[in-house]
């Protein structure tokens, strides 16, 4: 066996391409905040995380353009060296205030924020505890850390408690959970989790990638949603979703953030967020804070979509957020369903193993504040048509397999 043999034997993606059900790396030719042009056809985008619909907001674009002119196209260096702008500090101060924490640290992506925070904090004799459904970046951060990694069944805080109890007294313990679970659209039971963390003298980090701008009366996320800001030690956020850009941050106690600033390899050994992105995020944060009606519109769209799909008999699982999974069954069924919707002018995502168990593959929809009622209804109608045309997922799956054969 040579190193490359596994590449020659990897056929799954090519088989899906041949069957016309390959859903990845679709090139987008143009976009608005709610639609994308693919192969000359406009499709309603319900696969983005553009929750507040700010990617094309004139204030965000204007701020990005001004920063481009003032600072150039890239930072060309790590935060530690030449890659820190006054804008990075401004964003850190603004985020810390908004998330009600003493300090914050900005990374180049959300992924790196989790890597950087967890790997820096969880040292050789420490322990990190992860929910089974935590995001891959949390798992990768834990793998990079020198400490021991423990995983508990999704939402099973009794199992977590047992695992915490058996770690040596005096060792450092970090529990990391998603605020909103990205494959389910469900919210962590923070009131159930916090007492277990406190009882075991552990620290708690919440990944609020999908909660920022979405949960809490002011959009500041899961801790605020439950009134538990004081009980969450570290809040991680991304800028690639509600804040319509790229980048991420971790907010927490001043000395912890200071330590991360000097020990996070994902921060120190990677170039910083480009100026236009930082300026765009600052503008988006302004809008998030001053236009609460966007959040209201997001939730109205979410209700309209979820109710419409449920009325058609679709299973939307445990979703209580703008992430709406439509559980359809096995992988082939999900891929064929995705293709039916795509042909109907809907850009959604099939979610398949290893992201979800093999028998609960799904089409995942994410809503934005900018979707119109007409667009929401168009998506619901597309789901209905895929079903009504006799293109029930399992039959479609049969066709695709036949075509492949």
Active site residue ranges:
182, 210, 241
Between 181 and 383, whose beta carbon lies closer to ligand PLP?
181
Interface map 110-129 toward ligand PLP (x if CB under 6 A) = xx--x---------------
Interface map 180-199 toward ligand PLP (x if CB under 6 A) = --x-----------------
Q: Which span (1-9, 35-43, 104-112, 380-388) binds ligand PLP, by CB under 6 A?
A: 104-112
Least Å distance between CB 97 and ligand PLP? Answer: 21
Phi/psi region, residue 364 (left: phi>0; alpha: psi -120 to 50; beta: rest), is beta
Contacts of 8 (CB under 8 A, 6+ apart): none
Between 36 and 211, whose beta carbon lies closer to ligand PLP?
211
Binding to ligand PLP (CB under 6 A): which residues in 282-321? none
Q: Which span (205-213, 298-306, 349-357, 359-367) binds ligand PLP, by CB under 6 A?
A: 205-213
Listed in sequence order, the DSSP H helices in 166-274 are 190-199, 222-226, 254-263, 265-268
- Residue from 44, 67, 101, 178 binding ligand PLP (CB under 6 A): 178
Are residues 113 and 272 in contact, defined by beta-carbon separation less than 8 angstroms? no
- Residue from 88, 135, 297, 371 binding ligand PLP (CB under 6 A): 135
Rg (CA), the chain: 22
* Location of structure tokens 């979800």: 356
Residue sitting closest to ligand PLP (CB): 110
Q: Which span (143-151, 155-163, 202-210, 397-405) binds ligand PLP, by CB under 6 A?
A: 202-210
Q: Total residues at the site for ligand PLP (CB under 6 A)?
A: 14
Least Å distance between CB 112 and ligand PLP? Answer: 7
Between 209 and 298, whose beta carbon lies closer to ligand PLP?
209
Contacts of 10 (CB under 8 A, 6+ apart): none
Between 110 and 322, whose beta carbon lies closer to ligand PLP?
110
Between 363 and 400, whose beta carbon lies closer to ligand PLP?
363
Distance of alpha carbon 260 from alpha carbon 233, whole angstroms = 14
Contacts of 200 (CB under 8 A, 6+ apart): 161, 164, 165, 173
Are residues 175 and 191 in contact, defined by beta-carbon separation less than 8 angstroms? no
Least Å distance between CB 240 and ligand PLP? Answer: 3
The bridge status of strand 127-131 relative to strand 323-329 is unpaired
In this structure, the number of other CB atoms found within 10 A of the CB of residue 144 comes to: 16
Least Å distance between CB 309 and ligand PLP? Answer: 22
Least Å distance between CB 143 and ligand PLP? Answer: 15
Between 152 and 239, whose beta carbon lies closer to ligand PLP?
239
DSSP letters of 91-146? Answer: HHHHHHHHTT-SEEEEESSHHHHHHHHHHHHS-TT-EEEEETT--HHHHHHHHHSS
The bridge status of strand 361-366 relative to strand 323-329 is antiparallel
Least Å distance between CB 46 and ligand PLP? Answer: 16
Among 400, 403, 391, 318, residue whose Cα is nearest residue 360: 318
Between 178 and 233, whose beta carbon lies closer to ligand PLP?
178
Between 276 and 332, whose beta carbon lies closer to ligand PLP?
276
By CB under 6 A, tell whether 349 contacts ligand PLP: no
Least Å distance between CB 281 and ligand PLP? Answer: 11
Phi/psi region, residue 345 (left: phi>0; alpha: psi -120 to 50; beta: rest), is left
- SS3 of 295, please? helix
Binding to ligand PLP (CB under 6 A): which residues in 209-248? 209-210, 238, 240, 248
How far is the first Cα of the chain from the last one, in angstroms, to the nearest whole number? Answer: 29
Q: Which span (106-114, 152-160, 168-176, 388-396) binds ligand PLP, by CB under 6 A?
A: 106-114
Among 131, 142, 111, residue whose Cα is nearest residue 184: 131
Which residues lie near ligand PLP (CB under 6 A)?
109-111, 114, 135, 137, 178, 182, 207, 209-210, 238, 240, 248
């Amino acid at each position: 066996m040579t190193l490359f043999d596994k590449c020659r034997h990897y056929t799954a993606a090519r088989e899906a391409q041949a069957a016309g059900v390959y859903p990845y790396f679709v090139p987008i030719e143009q976009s608005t905040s709610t639609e994308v042009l693919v192969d000359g056809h406009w499709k309603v985008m319900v696969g983005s995380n553009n929750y507040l619909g700010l990617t094309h907001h004139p204030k965000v674009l204007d701020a990005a353009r001004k920063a481009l002119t003032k600072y150039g196209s890239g930072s060309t260096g790590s935060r530690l060296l030449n890659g820190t702008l006054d804008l990075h500090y401004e964003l850190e101060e603004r985020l810390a205030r908004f998330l009600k924490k003493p300090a914050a640290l900005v990374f180049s992506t959300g992924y790196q924020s989790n890597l950087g925070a967890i790997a820096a904090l969880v040292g050789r004799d420490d322990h990190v505890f992860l929910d089974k459904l935590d995001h891959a970046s949390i798992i990768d951060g834990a793998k990079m850390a020198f400490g021991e990694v423990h995983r508990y069944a999704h939402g099973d805080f009794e199992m977590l408690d047992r695992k915490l109890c058996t770690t040596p007294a005096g060792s450092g313990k970090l529990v990391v959970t998603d605020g909103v679970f990205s494959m389910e659209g469900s919210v962590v039971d923070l009131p159930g989790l916090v007492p277990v963390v406190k009882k075991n003298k552990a620290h708690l980090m919440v990944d609020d990638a999908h909660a920022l701008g979405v949960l809490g009366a002011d959009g500041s996320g899961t801790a605020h949603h439950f009134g538990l800001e004081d009980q969450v030690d570290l809040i991680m956020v991304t800028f690639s979703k509600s804040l319509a850009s790229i980048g991420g941050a971790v907010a927490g106690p001043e000395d912890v953030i200071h330590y991360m600033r000097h020990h996070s390899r994902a921060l120190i050994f990677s170039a910083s967020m480009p100026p236009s992105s930082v300026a765009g995020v600052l503008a988006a944060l302004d809008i998030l804070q001053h236009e609460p009606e966007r959040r209201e519109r997001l939730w109205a769209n979410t209700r309209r979509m979820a109710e419409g799909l449920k009325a058609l008999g679709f299973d939307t699982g445990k979703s209580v957020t703008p992430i709406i999974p439509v559980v359809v069954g096995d992988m082939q069924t999900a891929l064929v369903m995705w293709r039916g919707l795509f042909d109907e002018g809907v850009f959604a995502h099939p979610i398949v193993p290893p992201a979800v168990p093999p028998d609960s593959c799904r089409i995942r929809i994410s809503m934005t504040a900018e979707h119109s009622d007409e667009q929401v209804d168009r998506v619901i109608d597309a789901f209905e048509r895929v079903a009504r045309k006799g293109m029930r997922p399992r039959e479609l799956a049969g066709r695709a397999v036949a075509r492949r054969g």
